């Protein structure tokens, strides 16, 4: 069987191709492992991976079609056994991707929703998702996790399958590798399925998607140069790079904004046109909440017309963002060969796809036809990704088309969306904090109930032995009575005429009382070893142990 064409050969900047294990900030990573990767030969698994890749993208495309991503769109690439390229597996064929979400956490949780949806639609696969913080799904459900689970032993344990979160139990796999966990979840899913409380917290976090993703989009009416309007008309998603260019500006890129050589050719004689721009709420906030002086060459309207000035000011920031982004990328030569068919074909040749066959031979033509069909299918879903990675070339293509200011005149431009959400964020923050506080209170109440139940159980055990209820004050009285006795330089002395009954001690009763103190103070955890991994054997525990032995030693002195 011929080798499948390797996907995404032009993404040399992908984190999965880096040698280092250091993860970039504000980036979510994900990997999808079909069961065929575990049960089939590498060749069969890699072949089926192509079909699964397109099926998943086609299934998820209705959710992502009109979404504006903060930095880069959701995408998947193929990692096959002959050319492993993903940090999470060095030999299992799988799909993988990464997405930088920056300041927009909505992007990260939208990705989580998409992955849960993919696992629900395709039941014979398992999904991993993590970010710079590690297993962030566990962080979300921190108050509901089993006590044995911690960051040190969670690696490879957390997977998504059939729309549920799975945690591979420690008693079944003490130290699993990724393949072990994938096999366990596929074959013993009932055992690995996380508790309902954990499921509820994670699913509640994504329950409002995909509607929440649509709510995250903000429409705003602006006045921009015709060149900017032309670019956004053909490629609305390029607003992401424009806002990024504006928000991440520095002294060097500001020089480009001061001249506006590409997007403001006529200078102050440029006529601004009114258009409606779609962006995420995070992008809108980044534009609105930064003070930025318009370049001298920019044709800003008079402040006396407040509405027109506000629209032009926001449009000016977008135009300057486009200029800075375009000029910087052009200077640094970040375009490469982009996503053209020629670049794709050359990558196939470099990776041995044609297996040394002579061009024009029957087998060569068959492989070439397969590659062309695959490229055409793939391009339907990866166009946005390729265009975002090569914006300079695409902008040049758009601005090479005929256009003028008249193309945008006389059009009905809807008013901007209400942006009160930008100033009412305190309510949302308080709501989120209150929700976390409730989780903490429930967690503490549950913990206290467990302790109370243990105490009642211990008390019941003492009652069953027909012994009076333990009173800690009795031990204190015994100690005080002892230290009141006569002391000399030789130590504590007992009077010769002492009443022997007065210091008689029921040793069995005393030991039971000591044991009761230990149980009440949590010494049973030390004895059982349940919390050793969690580090509960602290200096305080050591102090309690010392006190216990001191009391026992003191008892021996009293009895003696």
pLDDT in tens, 216-256: 999 999 999 999 999 999 999 999 999 999 999 999 999 99
The predicted pLDDT at position 189 comes to: 92
Gap between the Cα atoms of 79 and 86, Å rounded: 7
Among residues 384, 263, 242, the alpha carbon closest in space to that of 321 is found at 242
Ranking 49-58, 413-422, 517-526 by mean pLDDT, the lowest is 517-526
Gap between the Cα atoms of 338 and 330, Å rounded: 13
Q: With beta carbons less than 8 A apart as the criterion, state whether 493 and 487 touch.
A: yes
Specify which of 24-28, 277-281, 488-492 reaches the highest per-range mean pLDDT: 277-281
The predicted pLDDT at position 467 comes to: 44
Query: Would you mind telling me the total number of residues written for the chain in this entry?
Result: 560
Q: Mean pLDDT across the stretch 78-88?
A: 53
Average pLDDT, the chain: 77
- For residue 289, give the 3-state DSSP assignment: coil
Count of CB atoms within 10 A of residue 340's CB? Answer: 14
The predicted pLDDT at position 429 comes to: 67
The predicted pLDDT at position 380 comes to: 46
Residue 267 burial class via C-beta count within 10 angstroms: exposed 0-12, middle 13-18, buried 19 and up: middle
Question: 459 pLDDT exceeds 50?
Answer: yes
Percent of the chain with pLDDT over 70: 66
Banded pLDDT at 353 (limits 50, 70, 90) = confident
Gap between the Cα atoms of 35 and 146, Å rounded: 27
pLDDT in tens, 298-338: 999 999 999 999 999 999 999 999 999 999 888 876 444 44
pLDDT in tens, 471-505: 555 555 555 554 454 444 444 444 455 454 454 55
pLDDT in tens, 410-429: 888 999 999 998 887 666 66
The predicted pLDDT at position 422 comes to: 87
The predicted pLDDT at position 438 comes to: 72
Question: 161 pLDDT exceeds 90?
Answer: yes
Is the model's pTM score more than 0.75? Answer: no
The predicted pLDDT at position 516 comes to: 61
Q: With beta carbons less than 8 A apart as the criterion, state whether 324 and 261 touch.
A: no
Question: 514 pLDDT exceeds 60?
Answer: yes
Residue 312 burial class via C-beta count within 10 angstroms: exposed 0-12, middle 13-18, buried 19 and up: buried
Alpha-helical (H) ranges within 465-489 are 472-483
pLDDT in tens, 205-225: 999 999 999 999 999 999 999
Alpha-helical (H) ranges within 149-297 are 178-187, 189-192, 196-206, 211-215, 226-234, 239-247, 251-259, 281-288
Gap between the Cα atoms of 285 and 394, Å rounded: 27
């Amino acid at each position: 069987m011929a080798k499948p064409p390797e996907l995404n050969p032009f993404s040399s900047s992908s984190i999965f191709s880096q040698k280092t294990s250091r993860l970039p900030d504000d980036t979510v990573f994900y990997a999808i492992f079909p069961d065929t990767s575990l049960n089939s030969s590498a060749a069969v698994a890699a072949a089926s991976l192509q079909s699964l890749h397109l099926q998943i993208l086609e299934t998820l495309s209705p959710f992502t079609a009109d979404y504006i991503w903060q930095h880069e769109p959701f995408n998947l690439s193929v990692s096959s056994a002959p050319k492993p390229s993903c940090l999470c597996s060095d030999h299992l064929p799988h799909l993988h991707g990464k997405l930088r979400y920056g300041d927009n956490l909505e992007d990260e949780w939208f990705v989580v929703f998409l992955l849960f949806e993919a696992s629900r639609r395709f039941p014979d696969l398992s999904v991993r998702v993590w970010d710079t913080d590690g297993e962030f799904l566990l962080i979300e459900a921190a108050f509901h996790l089993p006590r044995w689970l911690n960051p040190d032993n969670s690696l490879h344990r957390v997977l998504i399958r059939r729309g549920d979160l799975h945690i591979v139990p420690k008693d079944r796999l003490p130290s699993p590798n990724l393949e072990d966990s994938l096999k366990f979840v596929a074959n013993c899913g009932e055992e690995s399925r996380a508790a309902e409380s954990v499921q509820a917290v994670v699913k509640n976090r994504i329950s409002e998607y995909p509607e929440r993703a649509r709510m995250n989009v903000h429409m705003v009416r602006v006045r921009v140069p015709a060149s900017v309007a032309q670019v956004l008309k053909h490629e609305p998603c390029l607003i992401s790079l424009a806002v990024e260019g504006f928000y991440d500006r520095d002294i060097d890129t500001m020089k480009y904004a001061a001249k506006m050589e590409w997007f403001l050719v006529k200078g102050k004689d440029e006529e601004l046109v009114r258009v409606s721009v779609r962006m995420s709420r995070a992008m809108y906030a980044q534009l609105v909440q930064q003070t930025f002086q318009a370049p001298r060459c920019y044709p800003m309207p008079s402040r006396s017309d407040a509405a027109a000035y506000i629209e032009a000011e926001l449009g000016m920031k977008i135009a300057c963002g486009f200029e800075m982004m375009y000029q910087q990328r052009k200077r640094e030569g970040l375009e490469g060969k982009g996503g053209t068919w020629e670049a794709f074909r050359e990558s196939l040749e470099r990776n041995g796809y044609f297996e040394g066959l002579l061009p024009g031979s029957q087998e060569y033509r068959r492989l070439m036809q397969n590659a062309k069909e695959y490229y055409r299918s793939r391009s339907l879903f990866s166009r946005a990704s390729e265009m975002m990675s090569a914006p300079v070339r695409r902008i040049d293509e758009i601005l090479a088309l005929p256009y003028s200011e008249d193309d945008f005149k006389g059009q009905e431009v809807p008013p901007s969306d209400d942006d009160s959400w930008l100033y009412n964020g305190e309510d949302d923050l308080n709501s989120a904090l209150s929700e976390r506080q409730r989780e903490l209170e429930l967690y503490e109440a549950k913990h206290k109930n467990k302790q109370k139940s243990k105490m009642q159980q211990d008390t019941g055990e003492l009652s069953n032995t027909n012994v009076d209820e333990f009173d800690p004050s009795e031990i204190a009285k015994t100690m005080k009575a002892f230290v009141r006795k006569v002391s000399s330089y030789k130590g504590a002395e007992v009077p010769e005429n002492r009443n022997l009954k007065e210091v008689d001690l029921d040793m069995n009763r005393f030991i039971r009382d000591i044991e009761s103190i230990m149980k009440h103070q949590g010494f049973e955890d030390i004895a059982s070893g349940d919390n050793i991994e969690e580090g509960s054997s602290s200096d305080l525990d050591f102090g309690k142990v010392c006190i216990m032995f001191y009391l026992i030693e003191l008892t021996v002195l009293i009895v003696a």
